[in-house]
Structure 1
Amino acid sequence: MTDKEVLLTPQGLKKIEDDLEILKTVRRKEVAERIKQAIAFGDISENSEYDEAKNEQAQLEERIAKLESMLRKAKIIDEDEISIDSVGIGATIRVKDLAFDEEVEYTIVGSAEADPYEMRISNESPVGRALLGKKVGETVEVQIPDGVTKYQILEIKR
């Protein structure tokens, strides 16, 4: 992992902190119990339950280390400093998809908390990158896997 700072909204920070707490307090105990049960089966050299539990433990510890690293490198986006003059990280924008003639609302976030299902798109994604710095009324063209699409920015808010 690089030393690149991780941009987070206050909500994104809380989600990572909550996830980390669950992994450390709940999931670690569950995996330790699975390992304990697998050892009780006897010879661990040919014990698939033990191997699976140890693999799960390794993945869990890797995830914990990744989240802790993200928190150390976190730069929190101050909601009071989010400009509504132009699109920036932390801003929620309403755009019109000119290809489909429909309105969509996105929040531009750092890549660590992007979630397309919640309409939170990364500043590093093609759409996020194209929208950054643009103002209400501007139209942007975005290269997407299916070709090119156009968005008109209708509103920028915090």
Structure 2
Amino acid sequence: MKQEPVLKVTAYLTAVREGEQALLVFEEEDFEHLGLQVPGGTVMAGESLEDALLREIREEAGIEQAVIRAYLGEHSYVSEKLGCELTRHYYWLEATELVPGRFTHVVTSDDEDNGWIYHYRWIPFADSPPVLYGQLGQYLVKLRELHISASS
């Protein structure tokens, strides 16, 4: 019997910073070699994708107020690290609270990432999407297209 894929959510959290659209990214302390990442994680049993998304940005970035603007799509793949199939769901969110330009957050969760340290910053993405670690960047082009059409 085939095992169901592990469900993941990915948050492309944006805000206007210095007059242009910016994406919130982080580098993980002691794992900077992984490059830029965005908040996200595993959907818990009985949890909706949207609830998981909002929980993850609270746990991983300390952000309490954000609005989900669009569901961007999903991407399934096999994780060599975890040894199983993952289905990652990508969302566009906008911060509705003032978030500093740079900040450090210590993850607070009931999962393995509890206590991990993330160093956040905003990066503009209107000209070209940033390169994100692993499968995290799958829907950045679609996010950029949505922003361009929304601002037209």
* TM-score between both structures, scaled by the size of structure 1: 0.30
* TM-score between both structures, scaled by the size of structure 2: 0.31
Which structure has the highest strand share of the two?
2
Larger Rg: 1
Which structure has the highest helix share of the two?
1
